[in-house]
Amino acid sequence: NGDVLDSVVHSDIITTVAPLLENNQPSPEICAFFSKHCRNSPRSSVVLAMFTPVIYRILKHNMDFGKNPRLQAFVRDFILALHSKENKDEAFRHFIECMHGPSSECPHPRVLPNLVAICLASVATYFQDSNSFRVRADINNEESDSSTDESVLHDEDVMMTFLRMLQLTADFDDWLPALSGMLLPIPFPKVALYHRKLTTSLKYIIRKFADDPRCE
């Protein structure tokens, strides 16, 4: 089967290339290749094993996703690949724990805002198109092989994946004050506030803010 062969070849290439990127930012072309593997083989073992350190470097060092939207597309496709795992919530939790790091404070200040920007823009895309509601998204999607198929983002379950990511970031004490600054006032279109699942997810986060005197 050609598709199986392609997947095996891709896995071999990724296993060779990914370790070289732990100290180097991936090029747009490599991001496109990695994104394609996330979309076509989301349950491949190399997605978690090989891509997690690369994603960490992107979130840790990126200063402006607008200059390289393929970096954003790759991070988003990686998160969508986690969504396809059998125990997706465990995969989400492990991913956020890896991005935060083992200490009580995340040592890299760019990780949280970069992750939040991708989650907010992905949620906005759902309401922008599904409800004909135009909002500004921080992710610039290119019509290229590297970009997530936006029709995927119109799926409610997928949209909730990015809200789940935001919930998990709120479980880290050191991230709460900065997260409250990013999410208050609530950065979603008005129509989103009538979406029961979204408001339930937000209540969890807002309750965290309310219980922490550091949060405005």
- pLDDT, residue 156, reads 87
How far is 29 from 15, CA to CA, in rounded Å? 16
- pLDDT, residue 147, reads 53
pTM: 0.82
Structure tokens at 187: 């950065």
Please report, for the chain, the start and end positions of each structural domain, with discontinuous segments joined by +.
Answer: 2-210
- pLDDT, residue 154, reads 64
Q: What is the mean pLDDT of each run of 10 residues along the chain (216 residues)?
A: 60 82 84 91 88 92 82 94 93 96 95 94 80 42 49 76 96 96 84 88 94 89
Residue with tokens 């550091």, as numbered in its chain: 214
Residue with tokens 């995969």, as numbered in its chain: 91
- pLDDT, residue 140, reads 46
Q: 21-24, long-range: CB within 8 Å, 24+ apart, which pairs?
A: 21/53, 21/54, 21/57, 22/53, 22/54, 22/57, 23/57
- pLDDT, residue 1, reads 42
Q: Look at residues 99, 28, 30, 88 and name the one whose alpha carbon lies nearest to residue 59.
A: 99
